[in-house]
Structure formats: structure tokens, C-alpha cells
Amino acid sequence: MEEHNNNSGRPNGGGDDNKNPRNRQTILMFLILAMVGILFWNFLGNMGASNKEIPYNEFLEMLENGEVKSVDITSSQINIVSKEKDAMGREITYYTGLVPDYHLQERLEEADLEDYSAPVTDFRNVVLSAIVNFLLPILVLWGVFALIMRRMGGGGGMMGMNVGKSKAKVYIEKDTGVTFKDVAGEEEAKESLQEVVDFLHNPGKYAQIGAKLPKGALLVGPPGTGKTLLAKAVAGEAHVPFFSLSGSDFVEMFVGVGASRVRDLFQEAKKHSPCIIFIDEIDAIGKSRDSRLGGNDEREQTLNQLLAEMDGFDSHTACLILGATNRPEVLDPALLRPGRFDRRIIVDRPDLKGRVDILKVHSKNVKMDDTVDLEAIALATSGAVGSDLANMINEAAILAVKNGRVAVSQKDLFESVEVVLVGKEKKDRIMSKEERRIVSYHEVGHALVSALQKDAEPVQKITIVPRTMGALGYVMQVPEEEKYLNTKKEIDAMLVGLLAGRAAEELVFDTVTTGASNDIEKATRIARAMVTQYGMSEKFGLMGLEVRENEYLTGRTIMNCSDVTAAEVDQEVMRILKTSYEEAKRLLSENREAMDKIADYLIQKETITGKEFMRIFREVKGIPEPEEEKKAAEAGQQNETVRAEVKPQAENAGSGEAEKPEE
């Protein structure tokens, strides 16, 4: 992706290397250092020439006594070098003022001096002295100030005077290289933006009916969902100049610089109309103006200028402003009103179909074998955003190369999902035999309770191999279908499953460990949400006690009740967790034999699949195997038998000698 450059006809934007901002800064720094060196040398010279002032009559006495070695008469004083030397053997110098003395030359001749000079006016020395003592320090200070301004102003312009210029990168027509075909999983957002693109292409048909181009559209959503990618796709589809910059590009330490850059940006945009202005992370300058705790004058001036410029757009000027943020709650209400940002386009986490489409987009240039099922990967990555899915595809390709394969398999994709979610395997971490047993029973407790509950998600994989993100083991559960709502029974089952690991430790080892800290944290958060947000508590009923503060980033909530009610909420959360824990212990106690057998098998294998887990569970409980799985297992065994028979024949055929042709 190349930035627009007016010197595109020349290589590298022009053949003169001196026009490179980095070269200019190097030359400027060299000149400044040279000037400083001259000043320092002049200072040392003055220090060496510093001497003691004496009265004129004392100078005459020294002449009469023959104590003077040489005399230098300048236009302002008389410099005297004595024949005496100091303790270090250096010459002692004096100076005295000029006095109208017509007999001075005779006295100098009679004193038999080694050297003396009469006053001679040299204008070159006067000019040089003025340059060194006065002009040079001013130039040095000016150069240092210009270098500081240049670094803060982003280069270009004489002596940093471009500090108020806009830092927007300009992409012309298809320079972004992105279209709506490259964006998947956000069909509603694409549809809203396609209307804007059509308006830029065909403004006439909208003008006939009296419609006006929306002045602004605000892209809102969690990080990684593709807000910036959508903005680039709009530019790629519209074939108009695209001004791209971040909200932080307006922020400087100098007051008024941000407002100046806003003015310069909109002036340039009007020259290139129709065009698109994209401001990423607009909350950097668009925060609500609030003087209760002391405001930021520079940021507020920048915001005021932005509001004024958006109002000043002519209705016939086809300039669209796109903003992107994941903190819409902090934006100023004046910025969000119709007439400025007319549309709020939600770019949310993709659903199952959206994740499948995103995986297809990112995998179209990746070689994959026949085992790949992108829908299964999409089911296993509920809640993942576009950047996560792109990272998973890339990790799978890297794993395939690492394992010596020429195409990505389903195994690589599932392993990449684990790498992104819980980190890589830590093969160098060796746990003791007792710790392996504890971790094994902990994970089997989670899986077994999930299998025993009707409303729990099925188990895909169980492992006790440590991961780089801190997990000593984990259970991977994959839902059978995409869900947008959770019933109270499903949440209750989720709580029991989360606390089952700790329950298994207590039942088997009669003690507990620190391994359940993350489970307890998740369970507490879910139980609190049941009480304060979901209205699933018998004690508080439908009362909303918490407000979500930051929806798209941290998801933090703040209590909206008195301290007394908050204490009662804690008691209710404690009751829910205790009930879930007791239920987990009951289920595991009733199925202790199955837990022991599965845990022993997991200790031996370290990693088992959900099918292996269910096979052992059915054997212990005497449950017959489902017909579908039985047929699949028989088909798999037949395939293995065929492969085993074919492989030796192929090896024998390959190892035999070739028949010699007849002579």
C-alpha cells in the first residue's frame, strides 16, 4: 500500500537525496554541532586569554622597571605580557584601558620590548567577532528550536513551521487494495456502507428525490472486528481519495496545533471532493467535554474545531467522514448528533455463519486437504473476532509446515485454535507424579459433570499438557449449534461444570489446590451476573443492580445500589456458588468409578478425545454405543485394514528391481 506522492514520476519521490527529511535532519544536526564546537572553542580561547586588570600608572612603572615582555594595543585596551611567570611556569598577562598618552610610543621603544603593536582598525575582525559572539548563538538556538519543531511537526516545511499541518495519509482510488469482497462476517455493516458508496458513485439519482449524503458514519465495535478494514473497503469501492489518520495525530503539546490540523485536513478534503476522511480511534479527540475534574484545553479546542468543520460542510460537498472507536460511551453528545455522525454502524463479533465466511476469506490462499471442516472450527471458536480467526489460519499453516505437510489438515486447525486460546504446549515442564494425578482428576471432574448434565456442552478434548498461558490442563467443549441466549438451566449447568474440578480434588485427595482459581473467578462472575443483570435470583427478582460500563473493551460493570444491597448481593452469590459446588460433588460421588478409570487413562495418554472419553464412560455405566458412532468406528477400522494391506504391497513393488529391456 503506497502513500500518494506528488513526485510519483521520479523514483523514490525525487532523485535528490538531500530532499529526504532524514538527510536534512542529519545535515542540520551536523551544522548545529559545528556551531556549538566553534562557540566552545571561542569560550576556551577567552578563558585562556583572561587576565588581570591593572591601572595605567602601574603599567608605566612596569615599563620603567623592565618587567614587560610584550605589549598588544587594541582598539579598546592594552594587553600586557609580563616577564615573570606563575608557579606553573605560565606567562602572566594583564590589561589596562587606553589613555590619551602622546609619549607612549617613546616609552615602549625605550623599554626594549620583544614586540609591541600599535592600534589598527580591522573591520573584518570586528565583523567576525560580532558573528561569533552574537549571531552564532542566535543561529544555534534557532536551529535547535527548528529541529524540535520538525520532530513534533512530522517533517517537511522550513524550520518546523508545518507543525499545524495535517498528518493524514492520502490514498487515491484503489490504493487501499481492499474491497467489500475482502470483508466477511459483517453483512449488515457492509450493507449500510454500500449505500454510502452508491451515493458517492451516483449522487444525481439521490439529489433528484431530495436525499443528502450523510456527513458521517461511526463504526463501533470490539477490537479486531474489522472497523479499519471496512473503512478501507469503502475507499476501495468508491474510487475516491481516502484520507486516513488516527485521533492521536491531532494531539500535540502545543496549544492550538490540533485545531490547526483539523482545519488543514478539511481544507485539503474540500479540494479533493468527493472524498472520504477516516479518523481511527476518534475517542482520542472526541471525549465528552467535562470541567468537573479539570478539562484538557488543547483537546477541547481540537474537538470544537472538528464540530465546527463538520457543520461547515456544504450539503453539495461530497465528503464523508468515517470514525472508528470501541469506546462510544465516552464520546461527546454533540459529536454523535444527527448532522455530524448521522449513522452508527455496529461492527460486532461475528456469528457462526460470519465466522465460517471469515475463515473462507483468510484460507483462500492457503492449501488445505480434504479433512478440513471450517464449520467445525467456527463452532469451536464462539466469540472470536476476525483478527483471531485470521491468526488461527496462519498458525495452522505454520504448524503444517513444521510437521512436514504440504497442506493444512483439520488437526492443524484445531491445534491452532488451542494455541491462540490457551497458548502452546510446554513440553519442557515436568510435573511430579502426584501433581499429574491431581490435574488429571481436576480435568476429568469438569468433563464428567458436563457429560452427566443434560444442558451442558459436549466434550471435544481433555489434556493435562501444560500450556504457555498458565493452564496445567484444560477441557475443550464445543457447542452443537450457535446460541444467542442462555437459559437459567444452562447457566446452572455451567456453574456446576466450572466448580467440578475443585469438587473432584476434594473427593479424591481430601484437600484442595490453587488450580481452581480461574474456575472460581469465572463462576463468581457468572453467578453475580445472574443476580445483578439477568434477574435470575429468587431474592432480588427482576431488579437490575449493575450497569455495564464498557461494553466493547473490558465489559466492566458498576454497582447501581446501596452498600446494604451490595452486601446482600454477595450473600446471594455465595449461596448460588455453594449450591452448585454441592451438586458437583454429588454427581462425582455417584460416578466415582467412571472418574477413576477415565483419570487413569488420561494420566497414561496425557491427551484424549471426546470420543475416547465417552467410550470409557459408556463402558463403565453399561450404556450401549450409539449406532452412528458404531458404524463410523467400523468404517474407520475397515479403512485402517485396507491401508495396512496396501502399504506392504506398495513397499514391495517400490523395492523391486526394474526389468531390463530386451537387447
Ranked by mean pLDDT, which of 49-58, 156-165, 308-317, 644-653 comes out on top?
Answer: 49-58
State how far the Cα of 26 lies from the Cα of 321, in Å rounded to an integer. 38
Is there a single domain that holds both residue 108 and residue 149?
no
**In a shared domain, residues 270 and 307:** yes
Low-confidence winner among 44-53, 202-211, 535-544 (lowest mean pLDDT): 44-53
Residues 323 and 403 grouped into a single domain = no
**Closest to 257 measured CA to CA, from 154, 330, 107, 387:** 154
For residue 576, pLDDT beyond 80: yes
Q: Answer yes or no: do 577 and 610 share one domain.
A: yes
Q: For residues 259 and 341, state if they share a domain.
A: yes
CATH number at residue 388: 1.10.8.60
Does the pTM surpass 0.85? The reply is no
Query: In total, how many domains does the chain have?
Result: 5
Highest mean pLDDT among 35-39, 211-215, 368-372: 368-372
The three cell numbers of residue 627 are 449406532
Hey, what amino acid is at 529? A
Residue 170 pLDDT: 59
290 and 187 housed in the same domain: yes
CA angle 655, 657, 662 (to 5 degrees): 160
Alpha-carbon distance of 523 to 568, in angstroms, equals 18
In a domain, residue 569? The reply is yes
Task: Report the alpha-carbon distance of residue 193 to residue 324 in Å, rounded.
Answer: 13
Residue ending a domain, choose from 316, 346, 376: 346
Higher per-residue confidence, 355 vs 204: 355
Same domain for 517 and 371: no
- 284 and 315 co-located in one domain: yes
**Residue 59 shares a structural domain with residue 176:** no
Cell of 37: 564546537
Provide the CB-side half-sphere exposure for 467 (13 A, CA).
21
| Domain closes at, from 324, 346, 368 | 346
Task: Look at residue 593 in the predicted model and tell me its pLDDT.
Answer: 93
Q: Are 449 and 588 in contact (CB under 8 A)?
A: yes
Mean pLDDT of 508-516: 93
Residue 129's pLDDT is what?
67
Please give the Cα distance from 259 to 209 (Å, whole number): 36
Say which residue, 434 or 155, is predicted with more confidence. 434
560 in a structural domain: yes
Q: Give mean pLDDT, residues 322-334.
A: 89
Residue 579 binned pLDDT confidence (cut-offs 50, 70, 90): very high
For residue 82, being part of any structural domain is answered with yes
Q: 392, exposed or middle or buried, with CB in 10 Å at 0-12, 13-18, 19+? A: buried
Active site residues: 443
Q: Which range of residues forms the domain containing residue 356?
A: 352-421
CATH number, domain of 480, equals: 1.20.58.760
Looking at the structure, do residues 189 and 323 belong to the same domain, yes or no? yes
Q: Where on the phi/psi map is residue 242: left (φ > 0), alpha (ψ -120 to 50), or beta?
A: beta
Residue-wise pLDDT tens digits, 382-396: 888 889 999 999 999
* pLDDT-derived band at 155, boundaries 50, 70, 90: very low
Most confident of 119-123, 420-424, 534-538: 534-538
Residues 482-504, mean pLDDT to the nearest whole number: 92
Query: Is residue 629, in this structure, part of any structural domain at all?
Result: no
| Domain finish residue from 63, 93, 120 | 120
Query: SS3 for 86?
Result: coil
Phi and psi based region of residue 159 (left: phi greater than 0; alpha: psi -120 to 50; beta: remaining): left
The verdict on 460 and 546 lying in the same domain is yes
Is residue 648 included in any domain, yes or no?
no
> Tell me, what's the pLDDT at 313?
60
Burial of 365 (0-12, 13-18, 19+ CB in 10 A): exposed
Three-class secondary structure of residue 462 per DSSP: strand
Q: Is the pLDDT of residue 161 over 50?
A: no
Classify residue 524: in a domain, yes or no: yes
Proportion of the chain above pLDDT 70, given as a percent: 75
Comparison of pLDDT for 2 and 418, the residue scoring more:
418
CATH, residue 86 = 3.30.720.210
pLDDT at 586: 95
pLDDT of residue 592: 93
What the block records as the C-alpha cell of 207 is 439529489
Residue showing cell 484442595: 512
For residue 224, being part of any structural domain is answered with: yes
- Percentage of the chain beyond pLDDT 90 is 25
Looking at residue 662, what is its pLDDT? 38
Whose cell is 461492527? That residue is 347
Query: What are the two backbone dihedrals, phi and then psi, of residue 328, each rounded to the nearest 5 degrees?
Result: -70, -20
Residues 613 and 542 reside in one and the same domain: yes
Query: Which CA distances in Å does 249 have to 25, 297, 551?
Result: 21, 16, 26
Query: 31 with 144: CB under 8 angstroms?
Result: no
| Mean pLDDT, the chain, integer | 79
Determine, yes or no, domain membership for 8: no
Q: What pLDDT score was predicted for residue 497? A: 94
Return the higher-pLDDT residue of 645 and 662: 645
**Which pLDDT belongs to residue 4?**
44
